[in-house]
Amino acid sequence: MYETLTLDVDDRGVARLCLARPEKHNAMSGFMLEEIASAVSDISGRADIRVVVLTGQGKSFCAGGDLAWMRAQFDMASDSRRKESAKIAIALQALDHLPQPLIGAIQGNAFGGGLGLISVCDTVVAVDTVRFGFTETRLGVIPANIAPFVLRRMGPGPARRVLMSSRVFDAQDALSLGLVTKIVTQQTLAQAVEDEIAPYLACAPGAVAETKALLRALGHGVPDEQIQMAIEALARRWQSQEAQTGIAAFFAKKTAPWVQNDT
């Protein structure tokens, strides 16, 4: 049904939405983002689905935005670039508005936009060896479309600590920052996710969905104007000389001119 995702639903009503580009470390292309939004639309309308688990195939959960997709934006007209930028925000907002509880099962490294996916999960279980990082600024781009969701998740102080510096951090840091709710070993990940699923299966699904919607309405949602601001910010940044230089350096396996050390 999908080319970049898999969606399986068991007899209990537990859906597993899995990013399925392991050869690309599940980097999100424009097409993958469209498929995520489509899958979420399908899940949202299904009364038989009570819980959703979001995970990834292979060694990585999600390496962020596909840089080949980003590089293609450089030659687009501004309107087309804005539409491409919006795909990230649309997918994240769709996941955020999912009526069912969303559990992140983070089996591998997560960078850039992958942390946006984590930020819209209701609870997140991560393997203790996973590395995280908002690595956009190293490439001359900015974590724009994920920023509203990350800021809500972590708060402004922790967000300032990691969104600008592109530093890579471990699972314990992710826990302290509020991105992750539980750290486990690779061997115990499946059971830990089952432990998160079980309480929901004892709850009235309509009551769970209405509680989640109420929390957003009471101030825990991301306003549309913030999402639009982020879309415009990323579209502008894709036009910048820094972004073009940084992404070109990545593909050429060269060091960007602003790098003074390689730590």
Q: Which long-range contacts (CB under 8 A, 24 or more apart) does 117-122 make?
A: 117/54, 117/61, 117/62, 117/92, 118/61, 118/153, 118/179, 118/180, 119/92, 119/146, 119/149, 119/150, 119/152, 119/153, 119/154, 119/179, 120/92, 120/95, 120/96, 120/149, 121/54, 121/95, 122/212
**How does DSSP classify residue 218?**
I
Of 227, 222, 21, the residue nearest 114 (C-alpha): 21
Q: Which two tokens stand for residue 145?
A: 């479309």
Residue 174, pLDDT score: 98
Q: What is the mean pLDDT of residues 133-147?
A: 95
Residue 75, pLDDT score: 77
- Domain ranges in the chain are 5-186
Residues 100-122 have pLDDT tens digits of: 999 999 999 999 999 999 999 99
β partners of residue 170: 131
Maximum C-alpha span of the chain:
56
Note if the pTM is more than 0.85. yes
Q: Above 90 in pLDDT, residue 189? A: yes
Percent of the chain with pLDDT over 70: 99
CA distance readout (Å), 121 to 101, 106, 241: 8, 11, 34
**How many residues make up the chain in this entry?**
263
What is the overall mean pLDDT for the chain? 94
CA distance readout (Å), 120 to 27, 87, 147, 150: 17, 15, 11, 8
Residue 193, pLDDT score: 98
Strands (E), 101-245: 102-106, 109-111, 123-127, 131-133, 168-170, 182-184
Using alpha carbons only, what angle is made at residue 58 by residues 252 and 25, rounded to the nearest 5 degrees?
A: 25
Grade residue 259 by pLDDT with cuts at 50, 70 and 90.
Answer: very high
CA distance readout (Å), 164 to 57, 64, 140: 28, 16, 11
CATH topology for 5-186 is 2-enoyl-CoA Hydratase; Chain A, domain 1 (3.90.226)
Gap between the Cα atoms of 111 and 47, Å rounded:
33
**How does DSSP classify residue 179?**
S
Residues 51-90 have pLDDT tens digits of: 999 999 999 999 999 988 888 877 777 788 788 889 999 9
Residue 262, pLDDT score: 57
Q: What is the mean pLDDT of residues 137-155?
A: 95
Look at phi and psi of residue 206 and say left if phi exceeds 0, alpha if psi is from -120 to 50, else beta. Answer: alpha
Gap between the Cα atoms of 219 and 211, Å rounded:
13
Q: What is the mean pLDDT of residues 183-201?
A: 98
